[in-house]
Structure 1
């Protein structure tokens, strides 16, 4: 007997980085917060913007654009921070905007291209004219 929701399905939050759309498992996303003052941390890697105080928890903030080598937004153009469970700890990822929450079958996620694929790239999802790069946060080092 088949159920409406299967373990082969995944619910994803999709978001924009520039004009590209990415998706992560909704279970990894804790919340989306407005951009706030980020405190710089000396000697942090270049893709780490700093830290914020999120209701008493200190959360590191990572620029996915810098991490992926994408063109950066102009200062002040960041829209929000996706606070995600990354390697067992909360981490904030700067994103341009959340686009959707979708449910898809895992079998519809195509394997990543061999050319230039990264360990964090789980695959590509084609939804009509939309191509979504599906991320696996466990491999985003």
Structure 2
């Protein structure tokens, strides 16, 4: 009986969650892979600017008939602006209430993190409010800032975009 319990505990610990890893200003971030619909190259020509929205909103694009707000994550996280290049991508997210695109410097890989590899989010100064952090993931020497992308993209600022495009 004790052996069965240990096996169940081991199974729970061996299962994990997959995260899409993206970079911003040489820092790696992770978001729940289940929220990712697709990854596309960034094309500024296909983004239509909207007046009176926060500066981190690059505009909207038409993705197969769906109007998708495009968020520049560097601006959202108050990081220095960077020139877009061939590595710059838009990660299209399929969230509970909307489809949103986020512009990031690049996407590196998908990692499976077990609960033992995830530490609680720090409660001191970061590039953005810690309410959007789910923790810090570690894989060897790599550290990933894990972001609750659903919470981040359903903030009151994003509601302004909804109002502007309706």
TM-score of the two chains, using structure 1 as the length reference? 0.89
**Matched pairs, number:** 140
Structure with the greater alpha carbon radius of gyration: 2
In structure 2, runs of 5+ residues without a counterpart are 1-6, 156-166
Flag structure 1 segments of 5+ consecutive residues without an equivalent: none
- Report the CA distance between 1:4 and its aligned residue: 9.3
2:89 — aligned with what? Answer: 80
The answer to whether 1:128 aligns with 2:140 is: yes
Q: 1:21, 1:132 within 8 Å by CA — same for their partners in 2?
A: yes
The aligned counterpart of 1:17 is 24
Higher helix share: 2
Deviation at 1:114, TM superposition (A): 1.1
Give yes or no for the alignment of 1:107 onto 2:107: no
CA RMSD for the aligned pairs? 2.1
Moved over 3 A (4+): 1-8
**Contact 2:28 2:144 survives alignment (8 Å):** yes
